[in-house]
Structure 1
Amino acid sequence: MYISKIKLKNFRNFSESELVFNDGVNVIIGHNNSGKTNLLKALSLIFDNNTSKKLTVDDFNQSISDFQNPPRIDISAIMKQSEKPENENKEDQNTVSTWLLDITPPYEAMLTYSFFLPDQELEEYEKELEKLSKSNPTVKDYWRMIKRKFIRKYISRIYGGRLELNNRAESEKLDRFDFQFLGPVRDVEKTMFTGRNPMLKEILDYFLDDDIAKNDKLDEDHKREEIDKRENQFYNDSKAVIDLLKRRVEVNSILEYSSDTGASLGGKPKFEGEISESELLSALKLLIENKTGITIPATHNGLGYNNLIYVALVLAKMQMDCSSYVGVENAKVFPMLIIEEPEAHLHPAMQFKLLKFLKENINQEKQVRQLFITTHSTHITAAVALDEIICMYVDDSDTLCVSYPGNVFDLTKDEDRKSKAYVERFLDATKSDMLFSDKVILVEGLAEQILLDCLSEYENKPLVDRHISVVNIGGRYFEHFLKLFNFDKKDVFKKHAINRMVACIVDSDPTRLEDTKWKKCFPFEIKEDEKHKGIADNVSSLESDKSSNISIFCNETGKGKTLEYDIAFENPDCKLLITDSVIPMHRKIIEQIMDNYSTASFKSLKETPNVDADVCNLLEETGWDEDDKKKGIVAYHYFKAVSNAKGEHAMQLEYNLRKNLESDKPVSFNIPTNFNEAITWINGLSHD
């Protein structure tokens, strides 16, 4: 059994929403105020017996505008039979038997939390509504009236089965669900340091003599016999300690006044006592032993490590609560672990290790049947399968949207199976950022990723202000990642995509046919009478992925190649481009061309010492105008000068460009057209 779905109506930012869950791990991501915390609160209202079921006016969805009937909140959780037999517990169906919606396998059951004004208060509500309506009230006035006169009269109920039947869920069956919630800010010190804490003491008591309980060589009778021996041994040893204490205490001195007060007439007072194993557990303190063997109090341990220890204690408690230790009737049937922002206090490696452990132990040792995690951490999303990710976000119309990235692929098609495998393999912590951002720009390489934010500032359209992420996909593999965003609400697969603006900036990289192979070339090498492609093959194939939220940007002038080439072509006399990573033999050539560029003709620039004559001849044979031919000389030599150190060069160039922006008299710098268009489009502006 697992919680397969939750439906929320009129609760906080959920007007009327539905989320589908996985049988096992559910990692819920999204930017701030998308509703992640509210979702966990909704689950707790149904399954957490320690959560107050009373809500306030602020817990209603504030978009409600019809007050003819008192507003109400309904939250329904659907439990479904697991498709994995090993995930089914023999008590599952018995627990939900009276809440069933469908008894045919796989069975489904439903629990609904409702918060509403009871029928006996409706007459009074109608009277107040009528009085208020005479004063031309606003929505705010209605809420104020409910807050002042009715919210205290609201009641909460948990119903089992179909809501219209109003069948109250049995409290003893609700108790079979174990809802363990770990919030982002946890005062773990109060929970873990001494056995006096009820939770830790109970865990210690449960694991007492666990070595015998797990000894497969002993049957149950022999296990009980061995445990009895230890208990008797403890009793005898502890009695000796108590007797020693009694001998050391001078009882007569303490009780010398008992005869004077007349207390001794009722019998002579004396001291006796014994101590149980459970009582002595309270004396234990949690210490941390480091690699050198030195022990320190847990209070001196790092907060991150203490949080991991706390998680271990919670898992131990969940195991205990599912065992016969608490009694057959009291044992939990469905333990679930809910963690909000596990990245709190944990560095990336520890986040990865924690999640790996939780994934491996799901449904093991009866610890956790279902795991819910909300996170902002790209390291956590990189550690889970795509199917385990649920993305919550608010679109441009302020509508709450839910996407399931793993469901966008049609696995009956080879192409989609390949794409899903590729995305899961390469969706690392850096690329996972695309799942969190408001908008995304996908680029081919590291140089574009390093430079793009700075280039946007030259256009006075900084990406960081709009929460736009630039993601380097490490090649021309756009089509795989675009499936995550190619949204179409009418398509059975695309409806699960993330409806978010995505710009793809693609190198034009022209090619020409040499013998029987297509080879990359410079734009000036292309001749009209030979077979060639003015832009890369993937550009035309990506056009089919264009939609209202996806756009492709490529230099289609017939004079472009890559970012480095295009930047030099647009800035042929800008010495900001010359960085320390420029190959020395090219540096002098570029500097000489730039020095003379504005005054010299193409013919004169051809005569620059060490300029590639063959390239100049090819440029001369094109139909380009004089200025473009001159630009071609600079762009070619600049491309050659930085092609072996693109990443290092991009970092140095970014530094030069930012320093220029901050100067009192910045040098003019032109951004390649396709970059400018992408920046404009992603900012929601027209680039026509």
Structure 2
Amino acid sequence: MYISSLRIRNFRNFLSSKFMFKKGVNTVLGENGSGKTNALFALRLLLDESLPRNITKLRDSDFCRNLDDWKGHWIVISVDFEELSSHEGCQILKHDTGHMDNSEKGTLTFYFRPCLRVRQALFEANGNADLSQQVIDDIKIDDYEPIFTGRANADFLCDKAYSELVGDFDNLVFPDPNNQDFKAYGVKLSPLHEEVSFTFVKALRDVVSDLKNYRNSPLIALLKGLESEISDEDSENITTLVSDLNNTISELDEIKQVSSGIQNTLHKTVGYTFSPIIDIESSLPSELDKLLQKLSLTVGDNYVDGYSGDLNELSLGGANLIYVALKLLEYERKQEADKAAQFLVIEEPEAHIHTHIQKTLFENHAINKTQVFLSTHSTHISSVAKISEMNILGLDESKVDVFQPATNLNPIECGRIERYLNATRSTLLFAKGVLLVEGEAELILIPALVKKVLGISLDELGISLISMDSAFFEHISNLFHSNRIRKHCAIITDFDTSITKLPADKTKDNEYLRSCRNSQESGVIRKRKLDEHTKDNPYIEAFYAQHTFEVDFLIADNVVEAVEVLESIYNKKAYIKKSKALLEDKGVDVYGKEILRLADKVGKGWLSLLITECVSSETYIPKYVIDAIAFSCGNKLAPQVIYKMCKYRLINPMPAFKDKDKPKQFFADNKDDINACIVEFTKQCPDDDLSYLIGLLDR
């Protein structure tokens, strides 16, 4: 059997979310703070016996912060099982959770809900809004109860079902708690910890202290019960040796002198009548089970020098690996028991672990029969994960969405995407927005333009810029869809309109004109395909340079930057002078041809790198690039981010605006009203690139 889905309602940062899982390894990806830990903890609440028994008594802070008020609401966490067979290990689990429809499916649900008294009071107050609100206002967290049920078939993620079974909080109407629909809520049962094997490997942060801590050390967990496997003869010999050692230590003259000194001091201080009797004895435990718990690890970083010492001497990465190894050994021991299923949950294994080890750890468990749940924000792990086994968390204005990137994609399409997602490109899985570009010219120059002109990096905007090497736009952008990753993906490419006028009769083309015509025809075909591909998909859109990226960069009035790089390309002044004249020509057929010649001469990537060294706050960003950036942000940016860009523009040279005293003074006088400052900036600097960007945003 395996877990096919996890459904969470109102728990921590999950208002209403569903995770879909497969057999084998399942990866939960997401940026920091998106809820990866909370998702795994929800799974643990249902199945992890290592958690304290009172852990299910949640706190008010465990309710989703997107609720207007937690009082009266329920936290509902459900896992759905598949392939509950008649195997002996599954029988109890199937009996308790299996649906009564002759299928091999089951559901285990955890509810954290108001107790019967409160639910009864809410029901009796129906029709009296003031009384209902008073009951809700009086609810305390101690009025809540945790329960587990099996076989529930209600979908609490559905708002209609939630209103009917929990309560309609808009109209203050609540169901009768004495007329429970057991088919919907499920049948109450005890936790099912004993029926499954569950091993949790937590995020590796302060491992050394955990390895030394009696309660947390996985070594102690492995040593418990080991005494039963030691022969009686060995056990008796060890006990005798420890007893003799205790006696020997206790009888040492030096020990006796300290003991006698303490006793004499007490006699002198309080007298013989009130003085307690003091002695010092060695108290190493002679019981074998207690003695084994005193064992500790000695470690070394490698086999080269053979040195082995205390845990504190080990590198953090080495300690993490030892911790993981101990937990995996604990997991292997649990596999020997005849359980209904084995689950291995690993939280962020990438912390302090080398890249190659991350991949090895992941790939080794990918072939294991046990169902594995692994959370990560490692691009190296995500680059070898299958998108069909991913759940991606997206965080938008404190709201979490869960995406399954392979939904409705066939295996061939998934395979193409997986082969292309290397460690660099897989950053698009974590980004808030994505820019797909043709090649290295855009990859090098666009980030520099944004940073120099707007004063903020693409990373700060949450945008991942991915070079597609002139291919695969359709395949990769397929990930972004209302059924898959609900984030915005902008495609930046060239329309390749000829920079020179083409004769109506193509037979009159010379070699250069033929090349221009072929590029233009390819651009028309490319645009037609991309427009068809992006049609009816609100999450992807293509943005085109009228000609090519290099030519449109000059069209945006950036000839100065192009001329500045000539000295890095030529040594002879005559060549520089000739090229400068061509670049400064007014005709696109002239300067366009020259910039493309330079790109061909030194390489597009190298030319872009040279231009980045000349880019400044006075450079213009081509409008279609700004359009793409706005789209990839979902046409939304936080006011604080926009305000930061406005301030940057005002303290740096701006090509379209010279007198900045007036907006500067306004910013100084209204620094607590950033929205007013943004409006003033656009009013005073209407032709600035930033004002153009702000105009594209939904504010």
| TM-score where L is the length of structure 2 | 0.70
- Provide the alpha-carbon RMSD of the alignment: 4.5
How many angstroms does 1:442 deviate by? 0.2
What is the distance in 1 between the residues matched to 2:294 and 2:40?
Answer: 36
**Aligned pair in 2 of structure 1 residues 580, 208: CA closer, same or farther (>3 Å)?**
farther
Partner of 1:265: none
- After superposition, residues 242-391 of structure 1 pair within 5 angstroms as 275=286, 278-289=289-300, 290=302, 291-323=304-336, 333-360=340-367, 362-363=368-369, 369-391=370-392
> Does residue 469 of structure 2 align to residue 479 of structure 1?
no
Partner of 1:215: none
Change (3 A) 1:423 1:580: farther
Matches within 5 A, 1:400-479: 400-411=400-411, 417=412, 419-457=413-451, 460=454, 462=456, 463-479=458-474
Query: How many Å apart are 1:97 and its aligned residue?
Result: 1.8
* 1:654 aligned to which of 609, 612, 626: 612
What are the within-5 Å matches in structure 2 for residues 167-246 of structure 1? 167-171=187-191, 173-184=192-203, 186-193=205-212, 199-204=218-223, 228=231, 232=233, 235-236=236-237, 239=240
1:9 & 1:242 partners in 2: Cα distance? 58
- What is the match of residue 488 of structure 2? 501
Taking the aligned partners of 1:78 and 1:196, their CA distance within structure 2 comes to: 32
Query: Is 1:110–1:161's contact at 8 Å kept on the other side of the alignment?
Result: yes
Q: Residues 392 and 401 of structure 1 are in contact (CA less than 8 Å); yes or no, is this contact kept in structure 2?
A: yes
CA distance in 2, matches of 1:393, 1:244: 61
Residue 155 of structure 1: which of 137, 142, 145 is its match? 145
Q: Deviations over 1:532-578 (max 9, x none)?
A: 6162643321111113221112223xxx2x43344356557425555
Q: Is 1:56 equivalent to 2:14 in the alignment?
A: no
Q: 1:161/1:129 Cα in 2 relative to 1: closer, same or farther (>3 Å)?
A: closer
2:528 equivalent to 1:540: yes
**What is the distance in 1 between the residues matched to 2:109 and 2:510?**
62
Q: Is the 8 A contact 1:459 1:676 kept in 2?
A: no
Find the counterpart in structure 2 of residue 94 from structure 1. Answer: 92
Indicate if the aligned counterparts of 2:563 and 2:583 stay in contact, CA closer than 8 A.
no
Q: Which residue in the other structure is 2:81 paired with?
A: 79
**What is the rounded CA distance, in whole Å, between the counterparts of 2:577 and 2:492 in structure 1?**
29
1: CA distance, partners of 2:520 / 2:495: 13
Partners of 1:6 and 1:77 within 8 A in 2 = yes
Three-state SS of the structure 1 residue aligned to 2:598 is helix
Structure 2 CA distance for aligned equivalents of residues 470 and 242 of structure 1: 69
Q: Which amino acid aligns with 2:118?
A: E
Q: Describe the shift of the 1:520–1:400 C-alpha distance in structure 2 as closer, same or farther (beyond 3 A).
A: farther
Alignment of 1:30-45 (within 5 A): 30-45=30-45
Instruction: Give, in whole Å, the separation in 2 of the partners of 1:344 and 1:388.
Output: 22
Deviation of the 1:157 alpha carbon: 0.7
Counterpart in the other structure of 1:491: none
CA contact (8 A) 1:510 1:521 kept: no
Specify the alignment match of 2:638 in structure 1: none
Q: 1:337 to 1:568 in 2, by over 3 A?
A: same
C-alpha distance in 2 between matches for 1:314 and 1:300: 21
- Equivalenced residue count is 572
Tell me if structure 2 keeps the 8 A contact 1:2–1:23. Answer: yes
CA contact (8 A) 1:431 1:471 kept: yes
Q: Cα gap change, 1:94/1:568 in structure 2, threshold over 3 Å: closer, same or farther? A: same
Match of 2:610, SS?
A: helix
**Counterpart of 1:414?**
none
Deviation at 1:182, TM superposition (A): 3.5
**Greater shift after overlay, 19-28 or 53-62?**
53-62
List alignment gaps of at least 5 residues for structure 2.
154-180, 264-271, 273-281, 636-692
1:272 and 1:674 mapped to 2: Cα distance? 78
Kindly state the Cα deviation for residue 114 of structure 1 after the two structures are TM-superposed: 1.0
1:581 shift after superposition: 9.5
Alpha-carbon distance between aligned partners in 1 of 2:189 and 2:394, rounded to the nearest angstrom: 33
Are the aligned partners of 1:14 and 1:400 in contact in 2 as well (CA < 8 Å)? yes
State the alpha-carbon separation in 2 of the partners of residues 673 and 522 from structure 1: 28
Q: What displacement does 1:652 show?
A: 3.3
Deviation for aligned residue 1:161: 1.9
Cα distance in 1, alignment partners of residues 602 and 252 from structure 2: 93
Match status 1:20 vs 2:33: no
Given residue 674 of structure 1, which amino acid in structure 2 is its aligned partner? Y
Instruction: State how far apart, in whole Å, the 1-side matches of 2:439 and 2:447 are.
Output: 14
- Is the Cα–Cα contact under 8 Å of residues 239 and 288 in structure 2 kept in the other structure? no
What is the one-letter code of the residue matched to 1:647?
G
What letter matches 1:675 in structure 2? V
Distance in 1 between the 2:403 and 2:510 partners?
39
Q: Secondary structure at the match of 1:339?
A: strand
Matched, 1:589 2:575: yes
1:542, 1:552 within 8 Å by CA — same for their partners in 2?
Answer: yes
Opposite residue 521 of structure 2, the aligned amino acid is K
1:20, 1:520 → 2: CA distance?
58
Shift of 1:70: 3.1
Letter in 2 for 1:679: I
CA distance in 2, matches of 1:75, 1:588: 75
- What one-letter code is carried by the residue in structure 2 that aligns with 1:431? R
Distance, in Å, in 2 between the alignment partners of 1:63 and 1:420 is 34
For residues 14-33 of structure 1, the C-alpha deviation after alignment (integer angstroms, 9 at most, x for no partner) is 33332211222221122344
Give yes or no for contact 1:99–1:111 (8 Å, CA) kept in 2: yes
- The share of aligned pairs that are identical, in percent, is 25
> Is residue 70–residue 117 contact of structure 1 (8 Å, CA) maintained in 2?
yes
- Find the counterpart in structure 2 of residue 550 from structure 1: 540
Question: Which residue identity lines up with residue 439 of structure 2 in the other structure?
Answer: G
Alpha carbons of 1:432 and 1:408: their partners in 2 closer, same or farther (altered >3 Å)? farther
Structure 2 SS opposite 1:17: strand
Conserved 8 A contact 1:553-1:674: yes
Change (3 A) 1:128 1:346: farther
* 1:630 equivalenced with 2:625 (yes/no): no
What is the alpha-carbon distance in structure 1 between the residues aligned to residue 284 and residue 539 of structure 2? 77
Mean CA deviation greater in 91-100 or 571-580: 571-580
The offset of 1:126, in angstroms, is 7.2
Query: Alpha-carbon deviation of 1:470?
Result: 0.7
Q: Distance in 2 between matches of 1:449 and 1:272?
A: 68
Pair 1:344–1:66, CA change in 2 (3 A): closer
- Secondary structure at the residue paired with 1:157? strand
Deviation for aligned residue 1:36: 2.6
Report the AA paired with residue 286 of structure 1: L
In structure 2, what is the Cα distance between the partners aligned to 1:520 and 1:159? 79
What is the CA–CA distance in structure 1 between the aligned matches of 2:620 and 2:600, rounded to whole Å?
20
Q: Deviations over 1:504-524 (max 9, x none)?
A: 1113456999xx9xx998679
Relative distance call for 1:577 and 1:501 in structure 2 (3 A) is farther
Cα distance in 1 between the residues matched to 2:45 and 2:365 = 24
* Distance in 1 separating the partners of 2:571 and 2:405: 49
Contact 2:76 2:109 in 1 (8 A): yes
Name the CA shift for 1:272/1:245 in 2 (closer, same or farther; >3 Å). closer
Question: In the alignment, what sits opposite 1:217?
Answer: none
After superposition, the Cα gap between the structure-2 partners of 1:247 and 1:421, relative to the gap in structure 1 and judged at 3 Å, is: closer
